[in-house]
Amino acid sequence: MGENRSAPTLMENKNTVISEKLSAESISKVNGFVKSMGLFNLNFPPQYDTKDSFSELSRSFLKVQHVHRGKISCIVSVKPPIMNVYGSLHGGAVGDVAVRVATACARTIVGKDKELFLGELSISYLSSAPQNVSLYGICFVLSAFSVLMHCLQLKHQGRACQDLCGLFSCHLRQC
């Protein structure tokens, strides 16, 4: 493994190690792909270069509406910081919101003294959520810590819509 190449690349910095087995052409293609996706700056601000920082970021776009035993409703606003390069809600944000809300929903039944384990997460998209859409999510405990989150698109460019956006099924177990 080597750290130095004759031609610096977008992905190289003092901490990057690139395998000697990769050709300069392969590295160039990867750099071209990364650059075409809009990833020009790989230096993250210190507050985002920490564990679970994406969760903190996506949580700021999540507003809880109602909390009842075994049921939570919330609104997720799709804004640029949690969007992908294709102009829709980033898959990581979808997964993070699903896990965060499902865990909170399970916590309405199980006390804080019990540890929860996310055994399985299944996400199905029927359509992607574009920028400036508000998603209304309803999350409820089905049984034996199977939690279902159902999202509906509320507003898109000022008009009301009722499109199913996704179903998230989580199986949370007590440890």
Fold of the domain spanning 54-174: Thiol Ester Dehydrase; Chain A (3.10.129)
Q: Is the pLDDT of residue 174 over 60?
A: no
**Torsion angle, CA of 140/102/162/127, rounded to 10 degrees?**
-140
> What residues does each domain of the chain span?
54-174
Residue type at 46? P
| Both structure tokens of 102 | 């499902």
Return the H-helix or E-strand segment holding 141: strand 134-143
User: What does the alpha-carbon distance between residue 100 and residue 163 come to, in Å, rounded to a whole number?
Assistant: 22
For 77-106, what is each residue's pLDDT tens digit? 888 888 888 888 888 888 888 888 888 888
Q: Is the pLDDT of residue 165 over 50?
A: no
For 119-143, what is each residue's pLDDT tens digit? 777 777 667 788 888 888 888 887 7
- pLDDT confidence of residue 89: 83
